[in-house]
Amino acid sequence: MDNNFGKRINASLGGVQFLRDGDAFAGGGVATPDDFENMSEGADAEALI
């Protein structure tokens, strides 16, 4: 590999959907409900609850 950084993977977190109260963490901006798909119905809904 011919660069100054070596091997790496970059990622960013777009938003976190509320599930229940717990420990708080901070960073980044505030997500809006429009940033998430509706997970109340569908094949994967029960697996997430």
CA 48 to chain centre: 14
If one compares 41 and 33, the residue with the highest pLDDT of the two is 33
Distance CA 46, CA 40 (A): 8
Q: Could you read off the pLDDT of 1-14 as tens digits, one per residue?
A: 567 777 888 888 77
Residue 38 has pLDDT above 60, yes or no: yes
pLDDT at 33: 81
Distance CA 12, CA 14 (A): 6
